[in-house]
Structure formats: C-alpha cells, structure tokens
C-alpha cells in the first residue's frame, strides 16, 4: 500500500505503510534515548521513584509506561514536551519525520477489545471512546501473536503520519483474555468517568454528551427550582441524593426491563457523598452551568456575603477565600463570574479592595483577570459535564452482571493537566 507524504527534502515522498512503521521504530528508539539522557533526569527520575514506592520496586512494563507518558505528554517548565525538544534539536529530520513525531503528542489511551486480525496488525475497539483503530506494532506482527478476537489490550496508540487510519502501539501493552470481561468493563468505565476527555475524542460522543447534559440540567432545575443552590453540606447531600433517586425512578419508569434486579439507592445507599474537604465547609455552592456542568464549591455562602456587602466587618476571611478561588487551578472561573453577574453594583468595590486597584472595573478588567489567573481553563475546548458510555461497554457490563453501569455518568469539571 503506497502512502503519499510531503517531505521537505525530497518533495513528494511515497512510502509504504511498512516503511513508515520501520521509520517510526527508528525515531522512537532515538526519542527514548534522548528522554533518558542526563538532561531530563531532574524530571523523569522522581516520576520513576514515586511509582516504585518505598520498596523501590517497579516492573518493566510500568517503567515503560511512565517513560512513554513522560516523552509524549509531560509538560516541562517551559510548556514543551520531550518530543518538542527532540524535534527542535534535530535539523536533519525530514518534514515527514517531524510531522510524525509531533503527531505523537496526542496519543490515544484506552482499553481495547480485539475485533479481528488485519494482516500484520489488529483492529481494536476502544471501549472508552467507542471508536475502532487499525493498529500495528513497530516490532512486527509478533507483538500480536497472543491476541485473539474478543480479548482485550491495555495500550497507548499514536498515529502513523500520512498513513490514514493507521495507528501504532506506543510503550507497554498488556493483554487480557475474554474471560476478564468483568474486570475490563469496570476498569473502562472508571477510565471513562474519571477522564471524560478520553471519551470525547469521539465527536459523536461529544454531541451526545452535550445533549444529555442539557437534558439533565433541565431536570435538575425543574427538581431544585434553580441552577444554583447554597446549602449546608448535609442538606446538599440530601438534595442531590433525592435528585438522583428521582432521575433513576424516571429512567426505570421509561425502561422497566433494564432495572430488573437493580436496587435503587436510598438513604442507606447514597448515590452522592461530598468529599471530606467539601463536607467540612459551612456551606456548599452547587452550580449546574450550561457549559461547565455540575460543580460544587466550598464556603460559597461566605463568598456570596462578600459580594453582597464589600464593607462587611471582618471581611479579611472572605477576601482570603476569594484569593483562594482566584488562585486554585481546581476552581474554574464559573463561581466568580456568577457572583459578579449577581452583584453588578458591588463587584467593582470587591475587587478594588482585594487587588488594591482603585481604577479596576469588572466590565473592562474582569475577563483579563480571570485569563491571567486561570489560563488552563481558556486553553482547552469546553467539554460536556456528562461522560457518555459506549454501547459495547454497556453490553460487556450487562453480560457480566454489571447492573450498576449507566449510559451516562455526571462528572465535575476539572482542569486538564498533562
């Protein structure tokens, strides 16, 4: 199969898939050696030591995964990856080689079901994003000799530049038999709900996620009476548990066959429980935003009091809380924007006192302030706050009595770190 690639040195360079894979093996070997050189010790060694634990034991596969992630995804102090540094320092690389290497900075991490063999490769279904990948190994077809239809692989894939639809195994690969479907389904669901960005590589799932979040938000507003609540922690848990039970009962009423044998969560089996750092707060802000989804904010009532009265006696505690909201990367701009919109007559006074800038106005300076303090939020495309589970993963869970799995899981917005 001939693949056309643009090469800076030779014009149009037609290379077969096998030639591209062979070249990728050469480049990967050079890249790994570069990453393990002394110049990167200060960043790579602590990652390996942390994974090894106090007993200083680290199996080869885990070490390979850590090194591979470090090469492709880890952000150095200047924001560059190891791949960026490698490409920048190698002026001898062709344009095709450079594009191949830079394409590896966006790998596909997932848990894959083996659909079938395909020549020297395999066709894999990613249970996380519900898409198929035609996959090869740069060590040859022998890498898949134990792979059988219906089995599973835990792997990271990178694209083969200019070979449309072809992917390569990157780093370590772990294989599991078909009999491991129960554990695989649990692991894939956990990955999908804790890292929804992996799900939303699939544009179809992205659109489904937005649609389901809109539906869920509308139901939340109807049940709670507003898209923003300020409650003590215990009341927050009770209200959310009541809402989740209401939603489950509505789902069961619509699909009674799917609920057979399931026990709906009640007071003894809460569907929602605040993490300890939130549970210790005086109040919790619950905001279900059209874009940022469902989020929870500690001591939100205290912050609201500051905006209601910027001259509040003993306001230092309130101002310190606002500083925390501005500083913390785990907090999106949403709660500050909400309070600024709710208190337009006092927002300028709040920030003038906090920043000690008499000329500050929210209308002119507020967005710039948020962009400076929270660049990570603006650097990423908005994602739905609902992680959509693929049909095949649902089937695997149901086939193995995974009755607790649902078609969609709600996930709080989190900053996207490399």
Distance CA 209, CA 408 (A): 8
54 plus 132 within the same structural domain: no
Q: Which two tokens stand for residue 125?
A: 């279904």
Averaged pLDDT, 385-401: 81
37 plus 116 within the same structural domain: no
Highest mean pLDDT among 8-17, 86-95, 250-259, 392-401: 86-95
Q: What's the longest Cα–Cα distance across the chain?
A: 75
Tell me if residue 77 falls in helix, strand or coil. coil
Report the pLDDT value the prediction gives residue 4, as an integer from 0 to 100. 33
pLDDT tens, position by position, 146-155: 888 999 999 9
Q: Within a domain: residue 410?
A: no
Domain that holds residue 121: 108-199
Averaged pLDDT, 17-41: 93
Q: Within a domain: residue 183?
A: yes
Report the pLDDT value the prediction gives residue 265, as an integer from 0 to 100. 44
Q: Could you give the dihedral angle defined by the CA atoms of residues 290, 291, 294 and 297, in that order, rounded to the nearest 10 degrees? A: -110
32 plus 122 within the same structural domain: no
Q: Which of 183, 199, 215 is the last residue of a domain?
A: 199
> Does position 222 have pLDDT exceeding 70, yes or no?
yes
296 plus 333 within the same structural domain: yes
Helix 300-308 to helix 334-342 angle (10° resolution) is 30
Q: Within a domain: residue 415?
A: no
Residue 95 parent element (H or E)? helix 95-103
Domain count, the chain: 3
228 plus 287 within the same structural domain: yes
Q: Within a domain: residue 160?
A: yes
Q: Within a domain: residue 270?
A: yes
Q: For the beta carbon of residue 119, count every other beta carbon within 10 angstroms.
A: 10
Q: Within a domain: residue 240?
A: yes
Picking from 71, 68, 15, 62, the residue whose alpha carbon sits closest to that of residue 40 is 71
Which residue has tokens 């009674």? 256
Burial of 87 (0-12, 13-18, 19+ CB in 10 A): buried
Contacts of 4 (CB under 8 A, 6+ apart): 12, 13, 14, 162
Q: Within a domain: residue 402?
A: no
DSSP 174: E
| Domain CATH code at residue 171 | 2.40.50.140
Q: What's the sign of the alpha-carbon dihedral 166, 172, 178, 181?
A: negative
Picking from 309, 306, 299, the residue whose alpha carbon sits closest to that of residue 233 is 299
270 plus 303 within the same structural domain: yes
Which residue has tokens 């344009």? 95
334 plus 235 within the same structural domain: yes
Which residue has tokens 């690969």? 173
Q: Which of the residue ranges 135-139, 166-170, 224-228, 249-253 would you say has the lowest mean pLDDT?
A: 249-253
Question: Which residues in 346-369 are b (16+ Cβ under 10 Å) and which e?
Answer: bbbbbbbbbeeeeebebeeebeeb
When the pLDDT of each residue in the chain is averaged and rounded to a whole number, the result is 86
Distance CA 91, CA 336 (A): 47
112 plus 160 within the same structural domain: yes
> Does position 258 have pLDDT exceeding 80, yes or no?
no
234 plus 214 within the same structural domain: yes
Averaged pLDDT, 186-198: 88
Report the pLDDT value the prediction gives residue 329, as an integer from 0 to 100. 86
90 plus 118 within the same structural domain: no
pLDDT tens, position by position, 320-376: 999 999 999 889 999 999 999 999 999 999 999 999 999 999 999 999 999 999 999
Report the pLDDT value the prediction gives residue 399, as an integer from 0 to 100. 66
Report the pLDDT value the prediction gives residue 286, as an integer from 0 to 100. 97
Q: Within a domain: residue 400?
A: no
219 plus 80 within the same structural domain: no
What's the full length of the chain, in residues? Answer: 418
Q: Which of 103, 131, 148 is the last residue of a domain?
A: 103
> Does position 170 have pLDDT exceeding 50, yes or no?
yes
145 plus 208 within the same structural domain: no
> Does position 264 have pLDDT exceeding 50, yes or no?
no
């Amino acid at each position: 199969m001939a693949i056309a690639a643009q090469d800076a040195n030779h014009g149009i360079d037609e290379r077969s898939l096998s030639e591209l894979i062979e070249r990728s093996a050469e480049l990967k070997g050079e890249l790994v050696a570069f990453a393990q050189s002394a110049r990167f010790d200060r960043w790579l060694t602590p990652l390996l030591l942390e994974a090894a634990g106090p007993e200083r034991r680290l199996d080869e596969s885990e070490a390979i995964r850590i090194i591979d992630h470090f090469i492709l995804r880890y952000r150095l102090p200047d924001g560059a990856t190891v791949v960026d540094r490698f490409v920048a320092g190698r002026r001898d690389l062709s344009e095709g080689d450079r594009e191949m290497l830079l394409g590896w900075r966006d790998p596909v991490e997932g848990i894959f079901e083996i659909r079938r063999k395909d020549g020297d490769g395999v066709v894999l279904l990613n249970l996380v994003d519900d898409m198929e990948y035609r996959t090869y190994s740069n060590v040859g077809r022998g890498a898949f000799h134990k792979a059988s239809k219906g089995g599973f692989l835990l792997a990271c894939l990178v694209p083969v530049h200019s070979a449309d639809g072809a992917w390569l195994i990157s780093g370590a690969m772990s294989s599991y038999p078909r009999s491991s479907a129960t554990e695989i389904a649990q692991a894939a669901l956990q990955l999908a709900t804790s890292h929804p960005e992996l799900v939303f590589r699939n544009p179809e799932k992205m659109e489904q996620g937005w649609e389901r979040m809109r539906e869920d938000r509308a139901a939340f507003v109807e049940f709670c009476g507003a898209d923003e609540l300020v409650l003590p922690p215990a009341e927050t848990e009770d209200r959310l548990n009541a809402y989740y039970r209401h939603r489950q009962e509505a789902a069961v009423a619509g699909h009674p066959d799917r609920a057979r044998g399931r026990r709906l969560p009640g007071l003894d089996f809460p569907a929602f429980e605040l993490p300890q750092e939130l549970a210790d707060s005086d109040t919790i802000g619950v905001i279900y935003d059209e874009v940022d989804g469902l989020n929870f904010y500690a001591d939100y009532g205290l912050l609201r009091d500051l905006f209601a009265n910027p001259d509040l006696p003993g306001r230092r505690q309130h101002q310190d809380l606002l500083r925390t909201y501005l500083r913390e990367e785990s907090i999106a701009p949403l709660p500050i924007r909400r309070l600024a919109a709710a208190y337009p007559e006092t927002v300028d006074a709040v920030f003038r006192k906090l920043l000690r800038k008499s000329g500050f106005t929210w209308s002119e300076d507020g967005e710039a302030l948020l962009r400076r303090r929270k660049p990570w939020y603006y650097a990423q495309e908005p994602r739905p706050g609902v992680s959509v589970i693929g049909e095949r993963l649902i089937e695997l869970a149901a086939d193995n009595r995974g009755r607790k799995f649902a078609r969609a899981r709600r996930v709080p917005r989190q900053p996207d770190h490399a």
